[in-house]
Chains A and B, each alone.
Chain A
């Protein structure tokens, strides 16, 4: 019913982030061991480690892919107060980089932050190549590569002071050209009296500045992750927030005279779902491609999935947990074969382990 392929990531410490490219065929991982690794899926479905390099001099918190229109480009953010942009180069000359061999080159090091850079995200591609970072001192920075064919030049376009330490950020991926660019930022500031922990900004074409639209005052607990849902041409935006629970909010632009005059969008904010299933803090939230399944990570050590049904209500559908259960010999064999790194590739074909599943509601299976 569900099966897993194990990819031995070879990091020497826990992985902080895993990011897949636009097609789900390349995987980048980053870890406390300062390394970033890139994996490629071969035509048989097996994942092969193709690059591994020491990217920072501190824990690497986040890794993210740019749209493939810009080439093979990654951005990372780290405890070492920097964010970096990496580009994969295909070797053209014989010699150390043989023709066809690939390696990642640091195109820029963004050193403006005075504290840990907690999140990094590329903006929607319709606006060119933009990169937003946020940091523990509470600054959001928007960078841009004015010439997308030359990634070594980045200019710091905007700096937004957020007053509270920032932990996470998300770009609104709206496909609607009429929507101005929008960013939401979360803060993990622990003090509830400091007010709302999610801030929504919008780029104002007239003043060429980012303007704060809203501090979501209903969210006063620390926020650890935030994600706009892919927008299926809706007039409103959907935002998932990982805080003491999982929250899903609708942000609806209001068409009133005031906002028409000022050119600044006014938002109507409504919590449409709230899940305490983790029964603990929520560290990560992540949408699927068409925005009808949300996947959350909690301090209870589990991953939970929530799905929207036809009447627009959200329901928990699955839980993923670690299990120390001993594997049978046969299963174990198949796993050792999947290891991307084993010096002698036993097989080019990916192997899968069947996952044990517990159905909580149905004692009566189909068969």
Chain B
């Protein structure tokens, strides 16, 4: 079995001598350090690696090229397209196939725009490192575009009758546009005698191998001897060459017959040495009839095997069907004797031509694009229903799972980035099996540099009804604010976290701070407590006491005293706060206006009897008793007068 194991070397002598151990640091990073297992039954003494030469921890991270700002546009735009794929797939109708085909082209145009951008930067750049990095990116995305285009033709296009050649030629032309460009430049000069230009014949041949017959004719007409008989003959031959157009016109049989006649005619002219005066013309005609020797002659002229393949098929098998492509591709490779030294790209293209989708996916996941290509293409192929065949062939294989595993990996990669994490979430959202669980694991672990980011995370968790994540994030923020001494902030996070014991703890802090300073921290938060205070008894007390405090300060003594009595009657007063309430009742008892009824006064008295041993009351107890007695007499008198 083919192994895909990569080895990474840590350049450190101690790591080499002692060996290394590893541990996960975060979503994508691994920490590695020099390590030797100590047996606990040994004596505990310094190891033979102990020294003043300190050991290091190496934090390894993957070099994620997608995080480079130059690729940001690709990441964001492809995200939009990805989401529209999901949209199309969930609202399936008769047009879905065509819609997905159009989407594939959108993806490719994003890659092309990215490539253009990279090219520009590459030209602009003067730094060697940057230049080679950009060149790397160009190579990667060029390959991706090339593979994607072929996959689009073979797996997504809705061709009539599976006739694939015209698209194949278009694909080659797309990737090797220089012949067309050269030809256009030459023709634009409007001169006769183009053969003086060194690239003339190469251009003619190149255009011919891409099946651009019209272009070839135009170029030949500009040859200075285009009036000679050989040139006239070739013009006639090429003009009358039957071309196959799979989608309309002549039927297959008709075309084949015409072509046979045409080849016989041209062959007889070649045999009569009618082109031998001009070796290039002779070669062209021999190529058009598919002569083996001629095709061997032009082998080296082809940039790549698939350009050769497309040209060769154009002249020998113009009605090739897509499923026959693999067979011809292999034959072309054998001809070019390149079976032994296939590049990665060649292998993938061959696999695609052989309709081995699984192999294509297997290969492209090892490209250095951090899974951008494999996740987006697999997703698209899945929705085009191109993966379901594999389920029958491979046991345990599930197309849905395959798609999901790539999309999850890609989503996680983005989640590890400090500003792309929300984009990552949209990918995980599209994974019906494990997506939400992965979000639940990763979302609360996103580093929250600011409260604003924490709010964002809370919002994303709420949108997905991940209540526990919401509460956990809020609790962590609350703890953080508390550590920083920002009590009000801590309390507002604690309220969101719905953590009763935490709010109790903070309420205690508020009350104790009040005892110390005589005023409340963050009164605005206490003003807005509302029903939030129901989280814990201590919080209710804080809220109610704060209300009392405010009424008292505003001079609403009547209401303040009613509230005071209801607080004293409740069972939620913290032990350390009793004396405060009792002492604060003194001025109310002594107020000119009668504020406490006899019953209310009895309540205070009962509390005082219970709490009279509180040390803080010691020097106030006599005054309080006096105030109570006086108030009681006033109240009783008043009540007696008003009964009748």
Query: Which residues of A are in contact with B by a Cβ distance under 8 Å?
Result: 1-20, 22-25, 27, 29, 31-33, 43, 47, 58-59, 61, 67-72, 79, 90, 92, 116, 118, 125, 136, 147-149, 167, 175, 224, 230, 232-233, 281, 283-284, 286-290, 292, 295-297, 299-303, 305, 309-312, 315-325, 327, 331, 352-362, 364-367
B590 at the interface (CB under 8 A from A): no
A59 to B136, CA, bound (A): 47
Which chain A positions have C-beta within 8 A of B437?
Answer: 175, 232-233
Write the nearest CB–CB distance from B516 to chain A, whole angstroms. Answer: 13
CA–CA, A286 and B444, complex, Å: 20
Q: How far is the CB of B408 from chain A (nearest CB, A)?
A: 8
CA distance A17 to B25 in the complex (A): 12
Known contacts A90-B483, A232-B437, A323-B9: A301-B61 contact under CB 8 Å: no
Determine the chain B residues whose CB is within 8 A of the CB of A325 once the complex forms.
9, 11
Residue numbers in B under 8 Å from A175 (CB-CB): 437, 440
B131 to chain A, nearest CB (A): 14
CB distance from B141 to the nearest CB of A (A): 11
Pick the contact of A24 from B37, B394, B445, B475 — CB < 8 Å? B445
Q: How long is the Cα–Cα vector from A330 to B434 in the complex, in angstroms?
A: 45
B-side contacts of A43, CB under 8 Å: 449
23 pairs, A vs B, C-beta closer than 8 Å:
A3-B61, A14-B34, A15-B34, A18-B57, A67-B472, A68-B479, A69-B475, A72-B483, A79-B40, A116-B40, A148-B501, A296-B22, A303-B20, A312-B396, A316-B5, A318-B5, A321-B20, A322-B12, A322-B14, A355-B10, A356-B8, A362-B344, A366-B367
Among B19, B56, B396, B412, point to the contact of A300 (Cβ < 8 A): B19
Given A23-B26, A24-B25, A324-B11, 7 extra CB contacts under 8 A = A136-B40, A286-B23, A303-B20, A311-B398, A317-B5, A354-B63, A357-B9
Q: Are B6 and A317 in contact (CB under 8 A)?
A: yes
| Chain A neighbourhood of B32, CB < 8 A | 4, 303, 320
Contacts of A2 in B (CB 8 A): 8, 60-63
- Interface-facing stretch out of B45-53, B177-185, B278-286, B571-579: B45-53
CA distance A315 to B472 in the complex (A): 35
Are the C-beta atoms of A310 and B16 separated by less than 8 Å?
A: no
Q: Does B397 contact A (CB under 8 A)?
A: yes
Bound CA span A118–B39, Å: 10
Q: Which residues of B contact A147 (CB under 8 A)?
A: 501
A15 near B33 with CB under 8 A, answer yes
Tell me whether A69 and B4 are in contact (CB under 8 A): no
Query: CB of B343 within 8 A of chain A?
Result: yes
Partner of B11 from A24, A311, A323 at Cβ < 8 Å: A323
Residues of A with C-beta under 8 A to B484:
90
**Residue in contact with B54 in the complex, picked from A9, A297, A319, CB distance below 8 Å:** A9
- B16 engages A322 (CB within 8 Å): yes
The residue in chain B whose Cβ has the minimal distance to the Cβ of A175 is B440
Min C-beta distance of B558 to chain A, whole Å: 38
Seen from chain B, the residues whose Cβ lies within 8 Å of a Cβ on chain A are: 2-27, 29-38, 40-41, 44, 46-47, 49-52, 54-63, 136, 139-140, 143, 341-345, 366-368, 394, 396-398, 401-402, 404-406, 408, 412, 434, 437-438, 440-442, 444-449, 472, 475-476, 479-480, 483-485, 501-502, 505
Contact across chains for B441 and A317 when beta carbons are under 8 A apart: no
Closest-by-CB residue of A relative to B347 is: A364
Q: Are B441 and A359 in contact (CB under 8 A)?
A: no
Closest B residue to A126 using CB positions: B468
Contact A327 B35, beta carbon cutoff 8 Å: no
Task: Name the contact of A13 in the complex, choosing from B12, B46, B56, B412 (C-beta under 8 A).
Answer: B46
In the complex, are the beta carbons of B50 and A297 less than 8 A apart?
A: no
Return the chain B residue nearest A39 by Cβ: B57
In the complex where A301-B20, A311-B396, A355-B60 touch, is A32 in contact with B8 (Cβ < 8 A)?
Answer: no
Q: Which residues of B contact A17 (CB under 8 A)?
A: 23
Q: A92-B485, A324-B13, A357-B8 are in contact. Are A364 and B343 (CB under 8 A)?
A: yes
Query: Of B56, B57, B61, B397, which contacts A311 at CB under 8 A?
Result: B397
Whether A22 and B57, one on each chain, are in contact in the complex, defined by CB atoms closer than 8 angstroms, is no
Q: A70–B26 Cα gap in the complex (Å)?
A: 20
A321, B47: Cβ atoms under 8 Å? no
Q: How far apart sit A301 and B22, CA to CA, in the bound complex (Å)? A: 10
- Contact between A290 and B11 (Cβ–Cβ < 8 Å)? no
> Given B33, B36, B52, B341, which contacts A18 in the complex, CB threshold below 8 Å?
B33
CA distance A77 to B30 in the complex (A): 23
Q: How far is the CB of A103 from chain B (nearest CB, A)?
A: 13
B21 and A284 within 8 A (CB): yes
B479 touches A18 (CB 8 A): no
Contact call B22/A295, Cβ cutoff below 8 A: yes
Min CB gap A59→B, angstroms? 5
Nearest-neighbour CB distance to chain B for A234, whole angstroms, equals 9
* Complex-state Cα separation, A367 to B440, whole angstroms: 39
A354 contacts which chain B residues (CB < 8 A)? 63
What are the residues of chain B within 8 A of A296 when measuring CB–CB? Answer: 22
CB-based nearest A residue for B474: A69
**Within 8 Å CB of B52, what residues of A?**
12
Q: Which residues of B contact A281 (CB under 8 A)?
A: 37
Question: How far is A340 from B18 in the complex, measured between Cα atoms in Å?
Answer: 23
A9: which of B46, B57, B343, B398 is its contact (CB, 8 Å)?
A: B57
> In the assembly, what is the distance between CA of A198 and CA of B494, in Å?
41
User: Nearest 3 pairs between A and B by C-beta?
Assistant: A301-B19, A24-B26, A322-B15
Q: B20 near A322 (CB under 8 angstroms)?
A: yes
If A2-B61, A13-B46, A320-B32 touch, whether A310 touches B22 (CB-CB below 8 Å) is: no
- Measured in the bound complex, the distance between the Cα atoms of B56 and A227 in whole Å is 25
Contact indicator B12/A12 (Cβ below 8 Å): no
Interface centre among B11, B13, B23 (most CB of A within 10 A): B11
Given contacts A9-B57, A32-B50, A311-B401, contact A360 B35 (CB under 8 A): no
Cβ of A79 and Cβ of B20 under 8 Å apart?
no
Is there contact, CB below 8 Å, between B50 and A361?
no
Interface contact B22-A320, CB-CB below 8 Å: yes
CB within 8 A of B55: which of A9, A24, A116, A289?
A9
Q: In the complex the two chains form, is B485's CB within 8 Å of A14's CB?
A: no
CA gap between A338 and B378 in the complex, in Å:
40
CA distance A167 to B16 in the complex (A): 26
With A4-B60, A15-B57, A68-B476 as given contacts, are A289 and B21 in contact (CB-CB < 8 Å)? no
Decide if B22 touches A360 in the complex (CB within 8 Å).
no
Interface centre among A32, A71, A315 (most CB of B within 10 A): A32
A92 to B484, CA, bound (A): 9
CB pair B7–A357 under 8 Å, yes or no, is yes
Report chain B residues within 8 Å CB of A352: 61
How long is the Cα–Cα vector from A355 to B58 in the complex, in angstroms?
11
Contacts of A33 in B (CB 8 A): 46, 50
Q: Which of A22, A316, A366 contacts B445 (CB 8 A)?
A: A22
Q: A9-B57, A321-B10 are in contact. Are A290 and B441 (CB under 8 A)?
A: yes
Structural contact, B445 and A289, CB atoms closer than 8 A:
yes
Cross-chain contact B501 with A20 (CB below 8 angstroms): no
Q: Contacts A10-B54, A90-B484, A149-B505 hold; do A323 and B12 have CB atoms under 8 A apart?
A: yes
Does the CB pair A7–B501 fall under 8 Å?
A: no
Q: A289-B24, A315-B4 are in contact. Are A356 and B11 (CB under 8 A)?
A: yes
Task: A308 to B408: give the CA distance in the assembly, Å.
Answer: 13
Known A-B contacts A300-B19, A303-B21, A318-B6; A14 and B396 likewise in contact (beta carbons under 8 Å) = no
Residues on the A chain within 8 Å of B344, using CB: 362, 364-366
The answer to whether A331 and B11 have CB atoms under 8 Å apart is yes
Chain A residue nearest to B396 (CB atoms) is: A311
Closest Cβ–Cβ distance, residue B605 to chain A (whole Å): 35
Q: By the criterion CB–CB under 8 Å, are A360 and B24 in contact?
A: no
Would you call A360 and B449 a contact (CB within 8 A)? Answer: no
Min CB gap B437→A, angstroms: 4
By beta carbon, the residue of chain B nearest A318 is B6
- Report Cα–Cα, A158/B135, bound state, in Å: 62
Question: Chain B's nearest CB lies how many Å from the CB of A143?
Answer: 18
Could you tell me the distance between the alpha carbons of A331 and B12 in the complex, rounded to whole angstroms? 12
Contacts of A90 in B (CB 8 A): 483-485
Task: Let me know if B9 and A318 touch, CB within 8 A.
Answer: no
Closest chain A CB from B158 CB (angstroms): 28
